[in-house]
């Protein structure tokens, strides 16, 4: 007997055409499906925020995909539902709401003093609550990485970020592309820290474009390079980079951008705290990229590793 699970929402880039695919990887709140044409579709649990390529579902308790699905299982679609015949499972898409992040309508005014207060609040969350992995710890000025990989990452960061900051100030997309190339794929994990940082950086540019229209040609000039980074990335990281090229980002990242634009102090801190808890360091690295894309100095002037939290104001 087939179990029918209703979809709650469908992301703007979720491909629900009659394309087959196979289960790629399964976690408690997410199941990644690799479609025949190479795109990624992710089934999400009800506790998870939306993503552009995701379908959020009303999973029955204990809200865990792992008892149902296994890697390599075949997935089919007919436009109204997804079927995993081997698992005896179907996802009903008929009543799901469409979701998109809408950053094309966002307007961050960096000349407004409340915007600077908001960015300092984001920086506090990063340095006080960020994980011990990823880019954040490597940017503290007296950080002493213990592994050769971390030392190499730190050296690469301190070479690439000042160049990227200067290129962004001059709207020099060619130099910026070269700086981003030094970050692409940098770090371990399904979504390396460098790729997460790039996604956050692009979210910042999209959030600024309404108030700073001269950024649009700069952003357009980065698109070719970012597309190349995506082509060499793993399946999951590739999809997030391709989403970002289209101005589409995860709900958890987009919420931070919207709260900065609205100068909503309470919701901003809550949203930033939720984001830094995503993955091992993915959320924190994307938040770092966002902060850098809005005000590079707040990242490059990172505190010393031993500095007390009270000093981060």
pLDDT in tens, 178-199: 999 999 999 987 899 999 999 9
Residues 58, 48: Cα–Cα separation, whole Å: 11
pLDDT of residue 306: 43
Share the mean pLDDT of the chain. 92
Q: At what angle do helices 148-169 and 173-181 cross, to 10 degrees?
A: 170
pTM for the full predicted model: 0.94
User: Residue 14: exposed, middle, or buried by beta-carbon count in 10 A (0-12, 13-18, 19+)?
Assistant: buried
Beta bridge partners of 22: 34, 74
Q: What is the mean pLDDT of residues 263-283?
A: 95
Q: What is the mean pLDDT of residues 269-297?
A: 96
Q: Answer yes or no: are the C-beta atoms of 259 and 240 closer than 8 Å.
A: no
> In this model, does residue 145 exceed pLDDT 60?
yes
In this prediction, residue 73 has a pLDDT band, given cuts at 50, 70 and 90, of very high
Residues 30, 166: Cα–Cα separation, whole Å: 38
Q: At what angle do helices 193-208 and 282-294 cross, to 10 degrees?
A: 40
Close Cβ partners of 133 (under 8 Å, ≥ 6 residues apart): 280, 281
In this prediction, residue 104 has a pLDDT band, given cuts at 50, 70 and 90, of confident
Report which of residues 16 and 24 the model is more confident about. Answer: 24
pLDDT of residue 304: 61
């Amino acid at each position: 007997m087939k179990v029918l699970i209703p979809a709650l929402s469908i992301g703007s880039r979720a491909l629900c055409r009659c394309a087959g695919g196979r289960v790629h990887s399964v976690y408690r709140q997410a199941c990644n499906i690799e479609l025949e044409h190479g795109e990624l579709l992710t089934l999400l649990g009800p506790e998870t925020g939306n993503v552009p390529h995701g379908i959020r579902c009303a999973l029955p308790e204990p809200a865990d995909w792992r008892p149902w699905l296994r890697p390599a299982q075949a997935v089919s679609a007919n436009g109204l539902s997804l079927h995993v015949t081997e698992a005896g499972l179907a996802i009903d898409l008929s009543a799901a709401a469409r979701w998109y992040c809408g950053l094309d309508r966002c307007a961050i005014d960096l000349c407004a003093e409340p915007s600077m207060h908001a960015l300092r609040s984001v920086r506090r969350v990063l340095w006080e609550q960020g994980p011990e992995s990823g880019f954040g710890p490597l940017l503290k000025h007296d950080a002493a990485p213990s592994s050769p990989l971390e030392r190499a990452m730190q050296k690469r960061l301190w070479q690439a970020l000042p160049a990227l900051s200067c290129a962004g100030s001059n709207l020099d997309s060619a130099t910026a592309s070269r700086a981003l190339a030094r970050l692409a794929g940098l770090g371990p994990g399904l979504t390396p820290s460098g790729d997460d940082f790039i996604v956050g950086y692009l979210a910042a540019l999209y959030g600024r474009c309404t108030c700073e229209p001269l950024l649009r040609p700069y952003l357009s000039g980065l698109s070719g390079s970012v597309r190349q980074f995506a082509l060499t990335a793993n399946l999951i990281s590739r999809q997030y980079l391709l989403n970002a090229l289209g101005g589409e980002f995860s709900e958890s990242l987009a919420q931070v951008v919207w709260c900065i634009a609205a100068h909503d102090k309470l919701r901003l801190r809550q949203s930033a705290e939720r984001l830094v808890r995503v993955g091992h360091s993915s959320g924190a690295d994307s938040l770092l990229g966002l902060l850098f894309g809005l005000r590079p100095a707040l990242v490059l002037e990172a505190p010393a590793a031993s500095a007390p939290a009270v000093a981060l104001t």
